[in-house]
Amino acid sequence: MNSWSLELCHPIDHDIDASGIELSQLTAEPQVERVKRFRLSNQHAAPELGELFSIHSIPKSHESTIVLKGDLKRVHCLGGNMKSGRLIVEGNIGNYLGAAHGASRAGMSGGRIVVTGTAGNYVGFRMRRGEIFVEGNAGEFLAAHLTAGTIVVAGSVGKNLAYAMRRGTLVLAEAPTLSTRRFSAPVPLVSVFQNLFAKQYAEVASNFRLKNLGELIASFGESSVQSIRGDIAVGGQGEILFR
């Protein structure tokens, strides 16, 4: 498998649907000229990658990786078809990251997404498996309809957190505001998960020099952690953890 670095050539001043990007197809493609011709969506006038990004291969990558560089907050629906590999966003990203979109009933089902900036609304919507790490803030409806997987946000989060969350794990830097009718009261987490979490994900923060994520992940091995269950309204048993 191949790995690619895509650096934004100029600012984006309008919303872009990136749901057409099949990351597995990009990492399977060995020729940069063909990668440049991939269209961001199935829309007739959708731009090609080469129109927006300067594209280079990443040598000696141990895992199939796509690195996107620049302020991509107007780019939406990225990573919803991920099954494996890594997607690194060095900057901000828009709505529906790793999420189901359109008529799809499922978001990403594997792999890892790391965002060094902020993320928009509906991060992890209908996510089935995999991992998402956000260094900055995340918008509204974070982890909505989450079925499985792990989402870690080191910044603040928007409204309607974990709406209809069924399973999976959401890790936050601070106590969330949630409906007591839909979520359990916080209780101390009594589990080996804390230390395992700190050890397993320490390299994510250190590899990308992410201060907030590093502090959050390290704190799980050093301090008490609270746990909330829900969304009870849908019979959910998802877990929300925070310091």
What single letter denotes the amino acid at residue 170?
L
- 10 Å Cβ neighbour count for 234? 13
Q: In the chain, which residues have pLDDT < 70?
A: 1, 42, 44
* pLDDT score of 41: 75
Cα torsion 79, 81, 86, 88 to 10°: value is -10
Cα 87 to chain centroid distance, Å, stands at 9
Give per-residue pLDDT as tens, 11-36: 998 899 988 787 888 888 788 998 89
Give per-residue pLDDT as tens, 62-97: 788 999 999 999 999 999 999 999 999 999 999 999
Total-model pTM: 0.93
HSE-CB at 187 with a 13 A cutoff on CA atoms is: 9
Residue in the structure block whose two tokens are 């007591």 = 180
